[in-house]
Structures are given as structure tokens and as C-alpha cells.
């Protein structure tokens, strides 16, 4: 499932309710690599059932700051409310599935 996050409160609710592994992608609509990884994450989510939260850094700069986002896309893999892996750039589907296999 892919969810576009509109507020910090919504982000907090989603991460608090998460069980197991979840993916949080920080990006922006003007970012070409973000569009590439969005398609990949949609495929991965459909195949694995893992929830993907998409955070627009232009709309939620404070949240991006809390995660120390310096470039987009940056993708966090979160398990039990802790970041276990951070992927900078538009990783391939194989890379993302490899991280999921390692962290799940």
C-alpha cells in the first residue's frame, strides 16, 4: 500500500501503527529520480504487501529536517519504529528487495 503523507500528525499515526517493516520515501514532485523510485516502490509494495509512506519534502520540511534529509530521494526502511537501513538515490528493485529480505 502506498500512502501520500500530508501532515506530520498523519506520519506519526502511520508509523505508530506499523508492525514489522515499513518504507518511508522522502522526495519531491520536481525530482526525476523520485519518480523512478516511486514506480519501483509501487511494484515492491504490491508484491510484498509492505506499506510505503511518501513524504513530500517541499510540503513537510520540518519532518524532512527531523530525518536529516539532505538529498532526494532518500528512502528509510523502518522496523519496530527504528530506521534499519537508509537508501540514498533511486535504488533498483533488486536492491530494495534485497534490503527487505535482509531486514524482514
- Cα separation of 35 and 46, whole Å? 17
pLDDT at residue number 55: 98
pLDDT at residue number 69: 97
Q: Which residues are known to be catalytic? A: 31, 34
Provide the number of structural domains found in the chain.
1
pLDDT at residue number 104: 76
| Per-residue tens of pLDDT for the chain, all 104 residues | 999 999 999 999 999 988 899 999 999 999 999 999 999 999 999 999 999 999 999 999 999 999 999 999 999 999 988 999 999 999 999 999 999 999 87
| Domain CATH code at residue 39 | 3.40.30.10
42 beta partners: none
Domain that holds residue 13: 2-103
Amino acid at each position: 500500500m502506498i500512502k501520500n503523507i500530508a501532515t506530520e500528525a498523519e506520519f506519526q499515526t502511520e508509523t505508530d501503527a506499523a508492525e514489522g517493516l515499513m518504507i518511508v520515501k522522502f522526495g519531491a514532485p520536481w525530482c526525476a529520480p523520485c519518480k523512478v523510485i516511486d514506480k519501483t516502490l509501487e511494484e515492491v509494495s504490491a508484491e510484498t504487501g509492505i506499506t510505503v509512506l511518501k513524504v513530500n519534502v517541499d510540503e513537510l520540511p520540518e519532518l524532512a529536517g527531523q530525518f536529516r534529509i539532505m538529498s532526494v530521494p532518500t528512502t528509510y526502511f523502518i522496523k519496530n519504529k527504528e530506521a534499519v537501513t537508509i537508501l540514498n538515490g533511486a535504488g533498483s528493485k533488486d536492491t530494495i528487495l534485497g534490503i527487505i529480505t535482509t531486514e524482514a
